[in-house]
Amino acid sequence: MAVTTPEYDLIIIGGGPIGMACALEAQLNELNYLVIEKGALVNSIFNYPLYMTFFSTAERLEIGNVPFTCIAPKPGRQEALEYYRNIQKHFSLNINLFENVISVNKQKPGYFVVHTSKGWYNAKNVVIATGFYDIPIYIDVPGEKLPKVRHYYKEAHEYAFQKVVVVGANNSSVDAALECWRKGADVTMVIRKDQINDRVKYWVKPDIENRIAEGSIKAYFYSSITEIREKEVDIFTTDGTITIENDFVLALTGYRPDIDFLRASGINVSEGLTCTPQYNPDTMETNVPGLYLAGVVCGGMETHKWFIENSRVHASMILADIISK
- Check if CATH label 3.50.50.60 holds for domain 7-135+255-324: yes
| Residue 3, pLDDT score | 47
pLDDT digits (tens, 9 = 90+) for 249-292: 999 999 999 999 999 999 999 998 999 999 999 999 999 999 99
4 pLDDT more than 60: no
Q: Which of 118, 107, 134, 104 is nearest to 292 (CA)?
A: 104
The top-level CATH class assigned to 138-251 is alpha beta
How would residue 108 be classed by pLDDT, with cut points 50, 70 and 90? confident
Mean pLDDT of 12-19: 98
Q: Where in the chain is the domain with CATH 3.50.50.60?
A: 7-135+255-324, 138-251
5 pLDDT more than 70: no
Radius of gyration, CA atoms only, the chain: 21
Beta strand pairing status for 224-228 and 218-220? Answer: unpaired
1 pLDDT more than 90: no
Q: Which residues does 322 contact at the CB level (< 8 Å), separation at least 6? A: 9, 10, 31, 125
2 pLDDT more than 50: no
| Residue 149, pLDDT score | 98
Instruction: State the first-to-last Cα distance of the chain, in angstroms, to the nearest integer.
Output: 29
Mean pLDDT of the chain: 95
